[in-house]
Amino acid sequence: MASTTRIFGSRCRVLMAASKSAAATDKSTATSSEGRKTAVRVSGILKVQTVSPALAKFIGSPETSRSGAIKKIWEYVKSHNLQNPSNKREIFCDDKLKTIFDGKDKVDFPAIAKLLTNHFPKTT
C-alpha cells in the first residue's frame, strides 16, 4: 500500500493539520491553518441560554447551557446521595429537585433532558 504522502503530496499534511486544530477549538475563537482567528458559533447543548426562575434558583445563575445544567444536577444528586442504589438510572427527588422536575418523586436519567426543556425557553 502506498503512503499517503505519495498519493496526496504535501497537501495531506495541511489537511491533517487543519483537522487537528479544528478538534482543539476554543468556544469563542478558533485559529485557522493560516494563523487567523475566526469566530466559532456555539450551538446545541453547549449554547448558553437564559433559564426559568426555578432552574436559575437551583443552579445559582440566570444563564447556563443544557450540559452545564445537567452537570449541576448530577453534582447535587451525588452530593446528597439521591441515586437509587438498586437501579442506578433512577434519582430520588427531594423538595429542591421536585421544583425543577414537575413535582415527580422519581426521575430516570433519560427523562432529565426532556424535563429540562421546559426550563429553556425557545428564542427565535
| pLDDT class of 100 with cuts at 50, 70, 90 | very high
Q: Mean pLDDT throughout 102-123? A: 88
73-77: long-range contacts, CB 8 A cutoff, minimum separation 24:
73/97, 73/100, 73/112
**Measured distance CA(52)–CA(48) in Å, rounded:** 13
Q: Mean pLDDT throughout 88-97? A: 93
Higher confidence at residue 71 or residue 40? 71
Higher confidence at residue 115 or residue 40? 115
Q: Are residues 29 and 49 in the same domain?
A: no
Residue-wise burial string across 76-111, b where 16 or more C-beta atoms lie within 10 A, e elsewhere: bbeeeebeeeeeeebbebeeebeebbeeeeebeeee
Q: Are residues 63 and 113 in the same domain?
A: yes
Residue in the block written with cell 453534582: 75
Q: Are residues 63 and 76 in the same domain?
A: yes
**What pLDDT, in 10s, does the model give residues 14-55?**
555 555 444 444 455 556 566 666 667 777 778 898 999 999
Q: Are residues 74 and 31 in the same domain?
A: no
Q: Mean pLDDT throughout 92-116? A: 91
HSE value, Cβ hemisphere, 13 Å, CA-based, for 80: 14
Q: Are residues 25 and 49 in the same domain?
A: no
Q: Are residues 50 and 37 in the same domain?
A: no
Whether residue 68 lies inside any domain: the answer is yes
Q: Determine the pLDDT at residue 47.
A: 87
Higher confidence at residue 11 or residue 73? 73
Neighbours of 115 (CB within 10 A): 14
Whether residue 124 lies inside any domain: the answer is no
Total number of domains in the chain: 2
Range of the domain at 15: 4-41
Q: Determine the pLDDT at residue 82.
A: 94
Q: Determine the pLDDT at residue 4.
A: 56
